[in-house]
């Protein structure tokens, strides 16, 4: 009750603060959006269905398919239009874990925190073996292991297996006022010239390590090793996962591989280096799904109603796929649920937009923004050639969310200086809930870049970091429990307001100068 009183009072103050702003904002509509988004939110229920019910959503996996089917059902129930799965191109095979168990049995029983690496095979039943420690800095060092590894569980002694250090910093943090003020004061930096020259010695060492690693992988496959144990980045029981093989339909075979938490890996390593015998048992079963290698995005709309503007678009989205050791809550069920909730809010207040509002839940972002890149290429233009479609001019803006559960604190302009005063006005009604920063900075690594690459105003919001990079991003801890309800409610409300304003604005969002296509690579003789 106290929180509601505070919010209402601060909202009234923000209206006064807004009076001197440049861009026109319908404050009555904003108030309706705030009331629905902050007092009648469904965002946590949406997140529950995406995570707990659907499970991990690795590209082309059954979990992603479950989540996509549910989203389509939900959009139809809300009365959205043009709801469909849309293919963006060929991805490859899906994969999921059917069963995982691993434990040491000597010198004593101990269950191991780990996960199979994505797209790796299973053990073909239970296996039990003495753990063999492999130390090989060069290819010739591998010779001594030939003929000795069939069916064995192996691990590597490498320099990267460093002792863990205690952390004395909080996992979860929020942006300070000072940090946000600095972001707001940043100026646009124009980069000139190419990449700085690399260190030849470092490059040579990297190439040597890759060559040795490739030789190890080849040897272990030829030796028919039972299971590879890999040291996983992370600590305190958290490990960050990755893929251990290609998802291509014609991918070369690899050995079963388990990504092991640092504490368990180092425990076994110390025992082996101390001369103790370590025995381990494991059973891993994984499945591949290759009947339909196409990748799909979920698309839905609230149709525009203005005769002149209804063919124009406002787009929002977030990537729907995840990694497999958790349930992809902060990466990126959070962003997907927020964008879905923004659409629900707009439908709930019976908004009849001038421009069509379209949501996209992207797939295969984790492998290289494939879902959004494929969609943009099909509908708006090819960033490699900058050959654009007529529809490229019809989209006003694309808004993305993909930096965890943290509340929106502002927006990155992605170098689009002209959009700054507009967004400053749109954020003014939300200063009471901490969203007021407009920074000219670019931010990367997610789907707004696919739009920006073809000259469409594409934006990612500034979010509180929380424990995204320290604990949840691509980790086994990325679960529903790491989501912060109040943050997601605020984010969805702000996104809904941005969408409303973009749809109703007389003109589209200003655009930067079109990017120039990358230089064509010379053909090899």
- Consecutive 10-residue runs of the chain (525 residues): their mean pLDDT? 39 41 86 98 98 98 98 98 98 98 98 98 97 86 89 87 84 95 84 45 66 81 95 95 94 96 96 97 98 98 98 98 98 98 98 98 98 98 97 98 98 97 98 97 95 98 97 97 98 98 98 87 49
Domain presence at residue 257:
yes
Domain presence at residue 156:
yes
> Based on the domain organization, do 360 and 425 belong to the same domain?
yes
In sequence order, the β-bridge partners of residue 399 are 316, 459
Q: Among 273, 289, 305, give the residue marking a domain's end.
A: 289
> Based on the domain organization, do 77 and 138 belong to the same domain?
no
User: How much is the pLDDT for 10?
Assistant: 42
User: How much is the pLDDT for 476?
Assistant: 98
> Based on the domain organization, do 300 and 376 belong to the same domain?
yes
Gap between the Cα atoms of 326 and 404, Å rounded: 14
> Based on the domain organization, do 282 and 311 belong to the same domain?
no
Gap between the Cα atoms of 208 and 515, Å rounded: 37
User: How much is the pLDDT for 218?
Assistant: 87
> Based on the domain organization, do 339 and 479 belong to the same domain?
yes
- What pTM was computed for the model? 0.92
Question: How open is the CA angle 368-370-371, to the nearest 5 degrees?
Answer: 140
Domain presence at residue 45:
yes
Domain presence at residue 118:
yes
Domain presence at residue 3:
no
Q: Among 289, 305, 326, give the residue marking a domain's end.
A: 289
Q: Domain of 100: which CATH number?
A: 3.50.30.30
The total of other beta-carbon atoms located within 10 Å of residue 140's CB is: 10
Name the CA dihedral angle for 107, 112, 114, 117, rounded to a multiple of 10 degrees.
Answer: 50
> Based on the domain organization, do 256 and 403 belong to the same domain?
no
State whether residue 488 is helix, strand or coil: helix
> Based on the domain organization, do 98 and 85 belong to the same domain?
no
User: How much is the pLDDT for 209?
Assistant: 67
Our count of domains for the chain comes to: 2
Q: Domain of 24: which CATH number?
A: 3.40.630.10
What residues contact 271, with CB distance under 8 A and at least 6 apart? 107, 278
> Based on the domain organization, do 358 and 497 belong to the same domain?
yes
Domain region containing 119: 94-170+176-189+200-289
* C-alpha distances out from residue 522 to 515, 519, 525, Å: 21, 9, 9
> Based on the domain organization, do 98 and 74 belong to the same domain?
no
> Based on the domain organization, do 146 and 265 belong to the same domain?
yes
Gap between the Cα atoms of 31 and 410, Å rounded: 19
User: How much is the pLDDT for 12?
Assistant: 43
> Based on the domain organization, do 157 and 223 belong to the same domain?
yes
Gap between the Cα atoms of 115 and 265, Å rounded: 12
Domain presence at residue 165:
yes
> Based on the domain organization, do 57 and 83 belong to the same domain?
yes
User: How much is the pLDDT for 14?
Assistant: 42
Q: Among 289, 324, 351, give the residue marking a domain's end.
A: 289
């Amino acid at each position: 009750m106290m929180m509601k009183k505070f919010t209402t009072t601060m909202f009234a103050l923000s209206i006064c603060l807004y009076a001197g702003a440049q861009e026109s904002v319908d404050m009555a509509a904003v108030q309706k959006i705030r009331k629905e988004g902050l007092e009648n939110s469904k965002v946590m229920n949406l997140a529950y269905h995406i995570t707990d019910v659907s499970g991990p959503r690795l590209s082309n996996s059954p979990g992603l398919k479950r989540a996509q089917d549910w989203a389509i059902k939900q959009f139809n129930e809300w009365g959205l239009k043009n709801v469909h799965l849309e293919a963006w191109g060929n991805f490859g095979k899906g994969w999921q874990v059917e069963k995982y168990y691993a434990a040491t049995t000597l010198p004593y029983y101990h269950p191991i925190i780990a996960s199979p690496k994505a797209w790796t095979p299973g053990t073909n039943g239970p296996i039990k073996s003495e753990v063999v420690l492999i130390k090989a800095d060069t290819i010739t060092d591998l010779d001594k292991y030939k003929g000795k590894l069939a069916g064995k569980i192996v691990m590597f002694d490498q320099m990267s297996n460093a002792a863990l250090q205690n952390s004395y910093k909080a996992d979860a943090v929020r942006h300070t006022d000072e940090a946000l003020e600095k972001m707001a004061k940043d100026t646009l930096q124009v980069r000139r010239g190419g990449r700085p020259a690399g260190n030849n010695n470092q490059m040579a060492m990297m190439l040597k390590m890759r060559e040795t690693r490739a030789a190890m992988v080849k040897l272990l496959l030829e030796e028919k090793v039972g299971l590879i144990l890999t040291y996983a980045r992370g600590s305190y029981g958290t490990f960050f996962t990755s893929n251990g093989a290609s998802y291509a339909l014609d991918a070369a075979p690899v050995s079963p591989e388990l990504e092991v938490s640092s504490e368990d890996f180092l425990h076994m390593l110390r025992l082996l280096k101390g001369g103790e015998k370590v025995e381990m048992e494991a059973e891993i079963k994984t499945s591949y799904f290759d009947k339909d290698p196409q990748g799909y995005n979920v698309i839905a709309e609230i149709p525009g109603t203005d005769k002149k503007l209804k063919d124009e678009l406002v787009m929002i989205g977030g990537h729907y796929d995840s990694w497999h050791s958790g349930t992809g809550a902060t990466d990126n069920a959070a962003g997907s649920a927020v964008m879905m909730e923004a659409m629900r809010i707009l439908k709930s207040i019976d908004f009849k937009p001038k421009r069509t509002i379209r949501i996209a839940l992207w797939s295969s972002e984790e492998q290289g923004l494939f879902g959004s890149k494929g969609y943009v290429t099909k509908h708006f233009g090819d960033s490699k050639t900058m050959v654009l479609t007529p529809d490229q001019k019809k989209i006003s803006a694309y808004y993305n969310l993909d930096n965890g559960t943290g509340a929106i604190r502002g927006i990155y302009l992605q170098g689009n200086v002209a959009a700054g005063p507009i967004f400053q006005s749109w954020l003014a009604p939300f200063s009471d809930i901490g969203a007021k920063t407009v920074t000219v900075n670019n931010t990367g690594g997610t789907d707004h870049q696919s739009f920006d690459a073809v000259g469409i105003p594409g934006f990612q919001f500034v979010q509180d970091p929380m424990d995204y990079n320290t604990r949840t991003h691509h980790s086994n801890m990325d679960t529903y429990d790491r989501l912060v309800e109040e943050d997601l409610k605020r984010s969805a409300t702000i996104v809904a307001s941005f969408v409303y304003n973009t749809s109703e604005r007389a003109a589209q969002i200003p655009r930067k100068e079109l990017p120039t296509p990358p230089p064509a690579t010379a053909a090899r003789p």
